[in-house]
Chain A
Amino acid sequence: MITAASATIAAESGESFHAPGPSIFDLPGIAGSEVTKPMVQLLLAAILVFGFFYLASRKRALVPGKLQFAGEGAYGFVRNGVGRDIIGSHDFQKFVPYLVTIFFFILVNNLFATIPFIQFPTFSRAGMAYALAGLSWVIYNAVGIAKHGPIGYLKLQSVPSGVSPVMYPLLVPLEFFSNILVRPVTLALRLFCNMFAGHILLVLFATGGFHLILEYGGIGYVAGPLALVLAVVVSFLEILIQFLQAYVFVLLNAMYIQGALADEH
Chain B
Amino acid sequence: MEGSANMIGYGLAAIGPGIGIGLIFAAYINGVARQPEAQSRLQSIAILGFALAEALAIIGIALAFVL
Question: Which A residues form the contact surface with B (CB < 8 A)?
Answer: 1, 3-10, 22, 85-86, 186, 189-190, 193-194, 196-197, 247-248, 251-252, 255
In the complex, A196→B47 CA distance in Å? 21
Count the A-B residue pairs with Cβ separation under 8 angstroms: how many? Answer: 56
Neighbour of A197 across the interface among B4, B48, B61, CB < 8 A: B61
Q: Interface code B20-63, partner A: CB below 8 Å = 1, 0 otherwise?
A: 00000000000000000000110010011011001100110110
Question: Which B residues form the contact surface with A (CB < 8 A)?
Answer: 1-4, 6-7, 40-41, 44, 47-48, 50-51, 54-55, 58-59, 61-62, 64-65, 67
CB-defined contacts of A3 to chain B, threshold 8 Å: 4
Contact yes or no, B55 A190, CB < 8 A: yes
In the complex, A247→B51 CA distance in Å? 11
In the complex, A86→B48 CA distance in Å? 11
Neighbour of A251 across the interface among B3, B40, B47, B54, CB < 8 A: B47
CB-defined contacts of B64 to chain A, threshold 8 Å: 4
Contact yes or no, A7 B1, CB < 8 A: yes
Name the 8 nearest CB pairs between A and B, nearest first.
Answer: A7-B3, A193-B58, A4-B4, A186-B55, A4-B6, A248-B51, A190-B58, A193-B61
CB-defined contacts of B7 to chain A, threshold 8 Å: 4-5, 7
Residue of B nearest to A190 (CB): B58
Contact yes or no, B61 A252, CB < 8 A: no
CB-defined contacts of A197 to chain B, threshold 8 Å: 61
12 new A-B contacts, CB < 8 A, other than A5-B65, A85-B44, are A4-B65, A7-B2, A7-B3, A8-B2, A186-B55, A186-B58, A189-B59, A193-B58, A193-B61, A194-B58, A247-B47, A252-B51
In the complex, A189→B3 CA distance in Å? 25
**26 cross-chain CB contacts under 8 A:** A4-B4, A4-B6, A4-B65, A5-B3, A5-B4, A5-B7, A5-B65, A7-B1, A7-B3, A7-B7, A8-B1, A8-B2, A9-B1, A85-B40, A85-B44, A186-B59, A190-B51, A190-B55, A193-B61, A194-B58, A196-B61, A247-B47, A248-B47, A251-B47, A252-B48, A255-B48
